[in-house]
Structure 1
């Protein structure tokens, strides 16, 4: 099929516009994060003054769903207003960027007259869009938007790498991918992987908060952890995300097996990519099991979730670009 180069160019332009908007949103979220540093310090100082017994303990944690922090001084109130404004700007910029990001995906598909999932660049383009939509919905509550820098930074790094090192010109896919199973299998895996990435990020933040407990933060990592919600809330977000990851990603693996039987005459062949996908699914199952098991509801379960995230990233890049197998074409048109 002929490629509409004009639409392809518009897709690239939309991707670049989305990237710039995400960068500006990251800057706004950085302002939010630094202002929350002042708010937290002010809140703890006022609380310590009113409850002297807490001085040695460093003060209580701030509820992540608290709509306001009345126990702050004048500087804290000013910082709170600035943080609220920066949070609104960040959210608005992210949604605007998502519009351009979505346009980039749609235009890429229209340009090639197929689902835009034929190479690794298009997969990265799609999976980052999935992550941003999921996070934007999850962080609708203003008090959770302090997490934006921790999401935008890795997503921008992934988009930059995808748009530079993995970029592929719009073109028809290789014969092996010319199947109606392509959008069904890859889109399902993309959705599951997107949710899994979100879950893994929250588990990383959970470990950071466990290490740097509220009121006892030290050093650079303590400075970074100070505005974060409690470890309990971060762990809950990671767990709820993983609950959706397991069935969706697992369905994607099953659909891939069905496609494999249609294309290669067997459901399973222990190809490197399908093997690592299965290992990743097992790790998510192990995380949910550990998370529901008494005695494992701590950092050990979170480590399993982070290993699952690492496995997914390893499968995305190393298996696609380095290891030779039946899925080696995934990085190229």
Structure 2
């Protein structure tokens, strides 16, 4: 007979304090990101409009030289430069200079924001690890623990992209904002005292199944942010291409983002990369259900919505490979799929009674 380990209340309290400390530092990172955008140069904007109109400057249209062979010899003609559309359905325009807009002051605040995000991530990760040590088990036995681990992995993935020299600092502000919301909900409404697992969760599959679900959700989240920004940026580019005049706020913000094509490509790549792991997550859950409940699939609400999420992302990937469903249409499917993931976590756990409902939340 295996006796359940006792809860170390001191470490559990330390875990709570570390999470609260991370929220304070995330708040400072949020303010630093806001300052980065405010101090970002507006002198760098306008490149999208120039690219879409084929202009060398505000007055002169860009041209290309065309050699025409004829009976009287060779004639060189200047023709307007044609701006093509990418495979994603977005125009070939340069990426924006980023939140700082290329200014020294703006970039300084951006670096401060990233440094604060690193510190907050370290504090939150320490809180997650301390929570695990306090009960000597995986730190995701309830919604509070899942939420804190989820936001930690999301920030860690973002920092991993930065470490790999990927231009993703534009994710920083929406990421920190949603992490603060996630932790606010977790500590206010979802908090559960550090305690031992219910028998159904006391399995090594908890480490395998739930950890992969958390990682997949974190990556899906980054893809959803990129997809949402893609829709805004694509509308901005379309308006410019059709001769419209966006407002000063839209121009100063959206002009700094990567092009719609780059945002679309980023969201597609991260969603496509993690989709096989989500497939594995569902299979691992089915195997665990077989061990715990004697059946691999029982149409439990969590199982059903996990499969619906899988279908949503499968439809998105299929849409990207199907003519006529690229660009905005595929983006809408991706957002619906991520909405299914969110409902699978919050909606099913809170509003639906199922075998996956533990500790009240």
- Calculate the TM-score normalised by the size of structure 1: 0.87
Q: Which runs of 5+ in 1 are unaligned?
A: 70-75
Provide closer, same or farther for how the CA distance between residues 12 and 32 of structure 1 changes in structure 2, counting only shifts above 3 A. same
Matches within 5 A, 1:284-303: 284-303=313-332
**2: distance between equivalents of 1:183 and 1:16?**
25
After TM superposition, the structure 1 stretch with the greater mean CA deviation from structure 2, 211-220 or 109-118, is: 211-220
Q: Partner residue of 1:28?
A: 32
Cα deviation for residue 13 of structure 1 reads 1.1
Q: State how far apart, in whole Å, the 2-side matches of 1:63 and 1:312 are.
A: 30
State how many pairs are aligned.
Answer: 318
User: What residue number does 2:158 align with?
Assistant: 135
1:60-139 counterparts in 2 under 5 A?
A: 62-64=94-96, 80-139=103-162
Contact kept, 8 Å, 2:216 with 2:277, in 1: the verdict is yes
How big is each residue's C-alpha offset from its partner over 1:9-41, in whole Å with a ceiling of 9 and x where there is no partner? 111111111111111111111112223352434
Map 1:1-333 to 2 at 5 A.
Answer: 1-36=5-40, 38-41=42-45, 50-53=57-60, 62-64=94-96, 80-140=103-163, 141=165, 143-213=167-237, 216-218=245-247, 224-329=253-358, 332=361
Flag the structure with higher strand content: 2
- How far apart are 1:61 and its partner, in Å? 5.0
Give the direction of change, closer, same or farther, for the CA distance of 1:45–1:269 in structure 2 (3 Å limit): closer
Unaligned runs of 5+ in 2: 63-91
TM superposition shift of 1:2: 1.0
RMSD (CA atoms):
2.6
Closer, same or farther: CA 164–302 of 1 in aligned 2, 3 Å: same
State how far apart, in whole Å, the 1-side matches of 2:43 and 2:24 are.
Answer: 29
Query: What is the CA–CA distance in structure 1 between the aligned matches of 2:301 and 2:166, rounded to whole Å?
Result: 42
Shift of 1:292: 2.1
Paired with 1:123 and 1:37, the residues of 2 have a C-alpha distance of 39
Query: How far 1:288 sits from its partner (Å)?
Result: 1.1
SS state at 1:38 partner: coil
